Structures are given as C-alpha cells and as structure tokens.
Amino acid sequence: MTKGNNFFYKSVRVAAACAIAISTMFSPVEARVRNFASAKDVQSLKFLSANHMPIKVLVVYSPNQKNQNFVITLMNIVADMHDKGLVKPEDAFKVHVIPGWEMQEADYAFIREKVGAERVKKYVEFNNAYTTTDMWMQDWGEVGVVKLKSEKKPQTVVFDSNRGRDNAELPGILASFWNSYLLKNPSTKFSGGDYGGNIEVTPDNVLLIGNTSTPELRGFLEKNGYKNRMAVLETDWLHVGHVDEYISVCPNAKAARGYTLIKANPRLALRLIKDSTIEELKAIPLKDYRNAMLEVRKYLRKAEVNRATHKRRKKSEALPEDQKFGVAVLNYIEQPETTSESGMELATGHMVRSTEVEEFIKLNLTLANLIDVNLKRACEKISEVRKEKDGKLHSIISFPALYRVMYSGKHIAYIPGSVNQLILNNQLIVPDPKIEIMRRNIARTLGMLDLQANFVDSLPYPNLQGQIHCGTNV
C-alpha cells in the first residue's frame, strides 16, 4: 500500500467512525457531500480491493425477505473475529445495518437476544437515516480513492453506479457520512452490467469488469485511471451478468503478488459429487437439489463402472456408443486443473431429471471451459500491467460450482455460489453449498492459505438470484 493510501485509510476510519452521529446532524444529505470543481480535476480513480481491512460491512436486515439468520450469523462472526484477537485494535470495524422498511422494535430485540446486547453495542451499528427494501448492497457502487489536482493527498470517493431503485439515494448518504467525494456513473441506461457486482479490482489495481457493462462506464473508467488496466471478461452468458458470479479476489500473504484469484469450477463440483457418499447427498435439505445431485452421482458412478469394465476387455474392443460420453466426462474431470479453450456446444434444459443429467453435465463442462478462458484473460492482463515475464504462475484456487439454464437462456448458480463470498481479511464468509464433501474441500483449500472459511446459510439470496457478495458491501 502506498503512503498516500495509508493516509487515506486513517482518514476514512475517522470519518466512518462518526458516520451515525453525522447522519443526524446534517440535512439535507448533500450538505457533507464534496463535489468536484470540474471533471478535469480528477487525475485518477482507484477502487478498494479485498486486501484492505474493512471499515464497515454494510448489510440490509429484511425480515420480509427472511435474511435474519444470515445477518445475525454475520454479526456473530465479526464479533468473534474481534473477541478472539483476529483484528488489531486499530483495524476494528463494525457491521453497519441498514434496516428494512418493515423492521420493528421486536426485530432489534431479537438481534440483541441472538448476538448479545454488549456485542451488538460494540460491533454493530444501525443506520438511523435510511431504510430500504433493496437487499443488494453490492450493486449501488464502489468505494475508492481519488487523486485530484486540487488536493495534495488522495481523497475518499463513493462511486454511484446509477442503479436507481430503492437504493438510489444511498451513495449520496454514504458520501455524506464519510464527508467524501461522490462520483456518478455517466451512463443513464440503468444497466445491471454497471452495478458494483460487475466491478472487481485486484490489489495491484487491475480492473476485472464484465462485458455486460456499458461502453459509457468503461470509457469513463479508462479516462480516470484504468486505461490499459482493465480486463473485460465475458458475463453475457449469466442471467444476472456479473463478474463476481465466477471470480473473486482474495488476500493471500503466501502468494507472490499478495493475493489469490478464486474461480468457480464446475469440473471440481462434478468430481466431488462423484466421490461423495449417498448419505452426504441425502443430507441436502432441499428436495430438488438433493434429488438432482443423487442423479448426477448415479450417472458418474455408472460411468466409472463402465470404464473399469472396458479396461478389462481387449484394447481393440470399442466402448458402446451410449457409454462413450460418460467415460469421457470421467477422464476429463479427473485431470489436473488446466486452462482449456475447448468446449462442447451449450446444452439447454432447466430441471435436472434423470433423463437430463447428461445435458446438465455437458452444460457445466462447457461453462467450466468458458470460465477458464476468462480467467486466463484476467491473468494475462495482470501480467501485462505488472510487466512480468511470460511463465510466472498466478495463484489460483477453485471452489465447486454448478450452473443451470434460466428461462432467458442465460445461466445462474444451481448450488449456492461459494465464489460469491464476503471477504474480511483472512476470514471468508462463504455461502454454504449444503454438501459436506464440498464444505471440506473449500475449508481445506483455504486452510492451506491460512484463510478461514465461515459457512453461512445464504438461501434467501440465491432464491432472489443473488448471493452473499451481492447482498453486502465493505
């Protein structure tokens, strides 16, 4: 981190600590929003990355949308991080709760009961100036650093994605809380591709942005610090269309660059399902999900038997036609992880019935290859920006993921999307995939990097076509 950025973080902490008091002292909201003298005053913009300690964790508490258990679990995880000494005193932070419109005094009492009144007082704050029905905290925009010709030191900036909806005023309110500059997306298309979930940044300030973003936004970012620092990744195959649905950036002190890229990996998911026990899959609480995974396991195990039988036959004897694909799938998912640009044509289909398992597997292997191609593109841009020689390996790990086709012909996570997580330094708040073998795999993978997986029930979010990262902001 640069010296200027160190100053920035100290400044933000002071401002953020005063957030709630400020909100009741100034009206209207714009009273403490700092406006730019002109667009020409902006020298560069830099969004914050996951390698920085959080200042606040923003989340909406919405009883009507049944996310109480998730928010309470999040509060307890943050409190435990502090109580166990995992956060230095100077890095202390709180969960900033924006109440849902329907929130009553009984809800506040319920939180105090489940978290503890003292822990709530120390680690939670409630926004007294704003309520909302919109849970998607990631989508209103981003927080960053802006360098101005008129200022000697970097200044805080809230970037408004121009999403509108119920959170249209929130970026301005946060800029008011933090006495920061407010910068607005120049696009007036209200495109979902411009939301914060489609804007990810690495600690070395390489922007990962989906191709569903508008040309106006990308042009604006290029003019303000991200020229030749932007990897435009394919997100138009996704129903929501955000890059955080299959890639996230995680701090890793052991990595040469100080961070690791986490990718969604359908191949890994299929391999883990094959290796799971029937009991593990029968423990999945959701009926359709449980039955689908049992059918996938049955198909892959049958292919395993067919492959073993064929090996015992004469080499000249060909596999029966109806067994070739299953055996090819097994051989493929058991290979070491590599980036492949090959793939089969996209399959269609919504429900995973026993007669559709093969198409479901085809779909996910195709998407696995598509993800690999885009990850390679991101890595190439990172190496280009850092002026690294060819051959320097990137730190990449995989989380199991599966996708399905929506009515739109686009794709969405079939199982809770574990890549779409909340990262709080070395503590990762991970959507629970509901399968024990997947939980063990994720925990073991993160443990090798000295990172801790905290699994939470995030079902209210995927039920509304989102995930934890979509529903929070830092």
* pLDDT > 70 in the chain, percent: 79
Task: Compute the average pLDDT of residues 428-450.
Answer: 92
- pLDDT at residue 408 in the model: 81
φ/ψ of residue 109, rounded to 5: -65, -40
Helix ranges (H only) for 65-144 are 68-83, 105-115, 117-123
- pLDDT at residue 315 in the model: 60
DSSP three-state, residue 112: helix
pTM: predicted TM-score of the whole model, two decimal places: 0.82
Q: Can you give the residue ranges of every domain in the chain?
A: 1-233, 245-463
Q: What angle do CA 45, 47, 48 make, to 5 degrees?
A: 140
Residue 100 pLDDT > 90: no
- pLDDT at residue 352 in the model: 46
State the average pLDDT for the chain. Answer: 80
- pLDDT at residue 215 in the model: 96
C-alpha closest to that of 96 among 74, 81, 113: 74
Residue 350: pLDDT band by 50, 70, 90 thresholds? very low
**pLDDT tens sequence across 139-191:** 888 888 888 888 888 888 888 888 877 777 888 888 887 788 888 898 887 77
Task: Compute the average pLDDT of residues 441-449.
Answer: 94
- pLDDT at residue 34 in the model: 67
C-alpha closest to that of 8 among 136, 103, 144: 144
Residue 288: pLDDT band by 50, 70, 90 thresholds? confident
Hey, how many other C-beta atoms are within 10 angstroms of the C-beta on 283? 13
Residue 114 pLDDT > 60: yes
- pLDDT at residue 371 in the model: 95
- Residue 320 in tokens: 């029966």
Comparing 426 with 384, the larger pLDDT belongs to: 384
**pLDDT tens sequence across 186-226:** 888 777 888 888 999 999 999 999 999 999 999 999 998 89
- pLDDT at residue 128 in the model: 82
For the chain, the maximum distance between any two Cα atoms, rounded to a whole number of angstroms, is 84
Rounded to whole angstroms, what are the CA distances from 292 to 287, 309, 406? 8, 26, 16
Burial of 128 per CB tally in 10 Å (0-12, 13-18, 19+): exposed
Residue 338 pLDDT > 80: no
DSSP three-state, residue 283: coil
DSSP three-state, residue 76: helix
- pLDDT at residue 380 in the model: 93
Distance between CA 183 and CA 271 in Å, rounded? 45
Distance between CA 193 and CA 221 in Å, rounded? 14
Q: Virtual CA dihedral for 48, 51, 53, 57, nearest 10 degrees?
A: 60
User: Looking at 24-38, 65-79, 297-311, which range is the least confident one?
Assistant: 24-38
